[in-house]
Structure formats: structure tokens, C-alpha cells
Amino acid sequence: MEFLWVRWFGTVEGHRHGPKVARLPKVGFLLGTDESAFGFLDPSLVIRGCHLIPAFADGRTSEILSTPYSLGRPIGEVDDWATFYVMMYVTFL
């Protein structure tokens, strides 16, 4: 049986987005202490790709996961980007 282990995102509370305010949606990783921060997923349910842009102004943080090294991060990383913008416009050439 094939499956994926995933680390889930949640929306950033209080962040207004959309065409009326000219802002992209903003997401961030769920806290590692949240029971739904990680999960398993059938690979057939996966979106092939999306474009997440780190919110550089929000910086990086090590407070999302309680341990500096985790399978939930790329090898060698000890912190995460605090939040990401979700790109929602696509241009085809």
C-alpha cells in the first residue's frame, strides 16, 4: 500500500486576502503540538503542484515544532518559515 506522510498547513487568522484588498492568501504550518499537524494521505489525492512563497517579512521560527531536527523538515534545517503566501494566478506562455 502506498501512502504519504504529510505536514499540514492552516490559514493565518486575521489575514485579509482577495482582489478587494489586493493580497494573496497566507498559510502557515500547524503547531507540532496540534494533533492534526501531521497525517497520512493517499497519493492519488495529491495536487501535483502549487506555488507557496515564503513571507520573508515574517521571518523564520523554530517554535512550530518542539524539536530542532524532525522528519517534518528538510535535512539540515532547524527552523521553518513562519508563514507562506499562496500564489493564485497562473500565466501560460
Within a domain: residue 92? no
- pLDDT by residue (tens digit) across 51-75? 899 999 999 988 888 777 777 777 7
Contact 73, 10 (CB under 8 A): no
Within a domain: residue 78? yes
Contact 82, 62 (CB under 8 A): no
What is the pTM (predicted TM-score) of this model?
0.81
Give the number of domains in the chain: 1
Whole domain around residue 62: which residue ranges? 4-86
Within a domain: residue 93? no
Rounded CA gap, 56 and 77, in Å? 16
Rounded CA gap, 30 and 58, in Å? 16
pLDDT of residue 16: 92
